[in-house]
C-alpha cells in the first residue's frame, strides 16, 4: 500500500498557527504528542550523524509507515512546519517541508539545502527593494 504525503497546510495557515498563544500551543502539543505512534522510536525519525542517502531513504520509508497509521500525523506535521523542526515529522522529511515552502532549521539533503538557499535569496531580494 502506497501513501502520499499531503501538503494541504499552507504557509499562511502555518503563520497563523505560529501567532496563536504559546501556552495554548504547548497544551495542544502535549495532547497530540502523547498519542503519537512514534513514541520511543527516535532512531527512525532522526538521522544518525553521517547517515548515507541510501540509509536515510530506508529509514524514512519505515518512518512513513508509522506516520501513515498515526492518529496525530496532521498536528505533528503542523508542529514541524511551524517550528521548523529537524527530522521526520507527520509524514514529512526536512527536504519535503523545504520543497513545500516551509523553512527548516537544519536542512538535510541536497534538495532541502537548495530550497533553504532559494528562500533566503528571495527574502534578501525582497528586502533590497525600495519601499
- 67 or 29, greater pLDDT: 67
- Tens of pLDDT, residue by residue over 78-106, are 999 999 888 999 999 988 888 888 877 76
Q: What pTM value is reported for the model?
A: 0.64
Give the residue carrying C-alpha cell 496532521: 74
Question: Would you list the domain boundaries of the chain?
Answer: 11-128
- Mean pLDDT of all residues belonging to the chain: 75
Q: Identify the bridge partners of residue 89 per DSSP, sorted by sequence position.
A: 92
Query: Which positions ≥6 away from 25 have C-beta within 8 Å?
Result: 17
Tell me: pLDDT of 120 over 60.
yes
Give the count of alpha carbons within 13 A of 29, CB side only. 15
Amino acid at each position: 500500500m502506497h501513501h502520499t504525503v499531503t501538503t494541504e497546510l499552507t504557509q499562511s495557515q502555518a503563520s497563523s498557527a505560529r501567532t496563536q498563544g504559546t501556552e495554548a500551543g504547548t497544551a495542544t502539543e502535549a495532547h497530540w504528542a502523547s498519542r503519537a505512534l512514534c513514541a520511543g522510536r527516535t532512531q527512525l525519525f532522526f538521522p544518525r550523524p553521517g547517515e548515507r542517502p541510501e540509509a536515510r531513504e530506508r529509514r524514512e520509508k519505515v518512518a512513513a509507515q508509522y506516520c501513515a497509521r498515526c492518529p496525530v500525523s496532521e498536528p505533528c506535521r503542523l508542529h514541524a512546519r511551524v517550528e521548523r523542526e529537524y527530522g521526520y515529522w507527520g509524514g514529512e522529511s526536512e527536504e519535503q517541508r523545504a520543497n513545500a515552502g516551509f523553512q527548516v532549521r537544519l536542512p538535510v539533503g541536497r534538495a532541502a539545502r537548495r530550497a533553504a538557499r532559494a528562500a533566503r535569496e528571495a527574502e534578501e531580494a525582497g528586502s533590497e527593494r525600495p519601499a
